[in-house]
């Protein structure tokens, strides 16, 4: 691939792409000719991931950029660098996430950490990168949700777990928020003429390091689950297929939610996924958007500030 082609290849950003689903997603995008930026907090892990992608696709153009979704300042700094260096962004894959932290932890901005890292950081990131997305030819944003969204509830009266923290309730809330975000973003794009295709995806049950903290929060149930996981789950590469389908397929519509087609959507080939009833209240969706703007300072401007 020539340097000119490198310069004109479409750009994709994948958050949390040093391992697991994110790394497999980045590999898939690189194999399709995208220039790929993988984001992570750890520089060494970021460079190792770049080497893994190049080993998979020798001519891949990939680089690591520092981004800590635990910090809104880090999100703004990353977005500012990208807007300085790049003319447009074709694909934004909001993949990074943490699961079921056993004890209440907070981000640098004081948010419950699962809500902050899994959702609020990505909400602000998408807002900050909107000028690059709207400058692209056919931009898509993909939010990583989960089967866990089905048991989720947006606890507007206790978003940050101050009254009661439960590891899995917080995780389910964050993944429901991601799916509601995808839906709301498509509505905003349609209303504002942004030209975005906003989608969501979930990986079914995929064998990644994400489960480690989750099983620690429920030791007995977690141990049994880890024993049965190989029988009911799929690899990270297989789990990334719904995300890559959402990002790349010509057969998706704005607002689609993609997951595996196997039993209970736990594994299999990509298809349109089931949305639980808790995703269908427009008032909750609209309120979450408003609250998220207030908490993060997201402004949703399509042009660079003067």
Comparing C-alpha atoms, which of 297, 305, 304, 306 is closest to residue 125?
297
Q: Is 165 a catalytic residue?
A: no
User: What sign does the dihedral 40-299-187-83 (CA atoms) show?
Assistant: negative
From CA 145, how far away is CA 176, in angstroms rounded? 7
HSE (CB half, 13 Å, CA atoms) of 189? 24
Strands 257-260 and 270-272: antiparallel
Exposure class string for 45-74: b at 16+ Cβ within 10 A, else e: bbebbbebbeebbeebbbebbebbbbbbeb
Comparing C-alpha atoms, which of 113, 121, 107, 12 is closest to residue 60?
12
From CA 273, how far away is CA 264, in angstroms rounded? 10
SS3 270: strand
> Do residues 144 and 179 touch, judged by C-beta distance below 8 A?
no
> Do residues 143 and 199 touch, judged by C-beta distance below 8 A?
yes
User: What sign does the dihedral 63-66-70-72 (CA atoms) show?
Assistant: negative
HSE (CB half, 13 Å, CA atoms) of 179? 32
From CA 51, how far away is CA 126, in angstroms rounded? 27
List 234's β-bridge partners, or say none.
206
Per the residue annotation, which of 34, 119, 165, 171 is the catalytic one? 171
Residues marked as catalytic: 171
């Amino acid at each position: 691939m020539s340097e000119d082609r490198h310069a004109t290849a479409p750009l994709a950003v994948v958050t949390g792409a040093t391992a697991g689903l994110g790394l497999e997603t980045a590999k898939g995008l690189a194999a399709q000719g995208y220039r790929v930026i993988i984001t992570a907090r750890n520089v060494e892990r970021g460079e190792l991931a770049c080497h893994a992608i190049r080993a998979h696709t020798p001519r891949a153009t990939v680089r690591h950029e520092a981004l800590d979704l635990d910090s809104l300042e880090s999100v703004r700094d990353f977005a500012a660098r990208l807007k300085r260096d790049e003319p447009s962004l074709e694909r934004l894959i909001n993949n990074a996430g943490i699961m079921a932290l056993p004890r209440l932890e907070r981000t640098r901005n004081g948010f419950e950490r699962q809500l902050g890292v899994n959702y609020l950081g990505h909400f602000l990131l998408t807002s900050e990168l909107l000028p690059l997305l709207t400058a692209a030819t056919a931009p898509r944003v993909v939010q990583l949700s989960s089967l866990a969204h089905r048991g989720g509830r947006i606890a507007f009266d206790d978003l940050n777990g101050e009254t009661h923290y439960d590891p899995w309730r917080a995780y389910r809330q964050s993944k429901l928020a991601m799916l509601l975000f995808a839906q709301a973003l498509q509505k905003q794009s349609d209303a504002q003429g942004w030209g975005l295709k906003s989608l969501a995806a979930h990986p079914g049950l995929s064998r990644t390091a994400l489960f480690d903290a989750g099983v620690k929060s429920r030791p007995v149930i977690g141990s049994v689950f880890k024993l049965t996981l190989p029988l009911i789950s799929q690899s990270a590469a297989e789990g990334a297929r719904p995300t890559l389908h959402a990002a790349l397929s010509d057969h998706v519509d704005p607002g689609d939610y993609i997951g595996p087609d196997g039993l209970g959507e736990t594994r299999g080939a990509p298809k349109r996924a089931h949305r639980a009833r808790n995703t269908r209240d427009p008032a909750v969706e609209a309120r979450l958007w408003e609250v998220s703007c207030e908490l993060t300072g997201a402004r949703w401007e399509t042009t660079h500030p003067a």
